[in-house]
């Protein structure tokens, strides 16, 4: 999903500016979720022992 958002933001003139800004904001939020979910603390909570 992050790759698709990066392509939408990077293509010049293919999409209106408002859509590119919206996708950039969503991409940043999604990247934050990915970092949070793949963090050591959260992964340790769901680790099987």
The average confidence (pLDDT) of the chain is 90
Across residues 4-26, what is the average pLDDT? Answer: 92
Asked whether residue 25 carries a pLDDT value surpassing 90, the answer given is yes
Confidence of residue 14 (pLDDT cuts 50, 70, 90): confident
Give the pLDDT of residue 33.
94
Q: Quick check: 1 and 26 in contact, CB under 8 A?
A: no
| Token representation of residue 34 | 């990915």
Q: Distances in Å between the alpha carbon of 43 and those of 37, 40, 47, 48?
A: 7, 5, 6, 10
| pTM listed for this prediction | 0.75
């Amino acid at each position: 999903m992050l790759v698709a958002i990066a392509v939408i933001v990077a293509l010049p003139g293919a999409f209106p500016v408002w859509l590119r800004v919206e996708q950039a904001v969503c991409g940043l939020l999604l990247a934050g979720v990915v970092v949070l979910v793949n963090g050591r603390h959260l992964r340790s909570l769901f680790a099987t022992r």
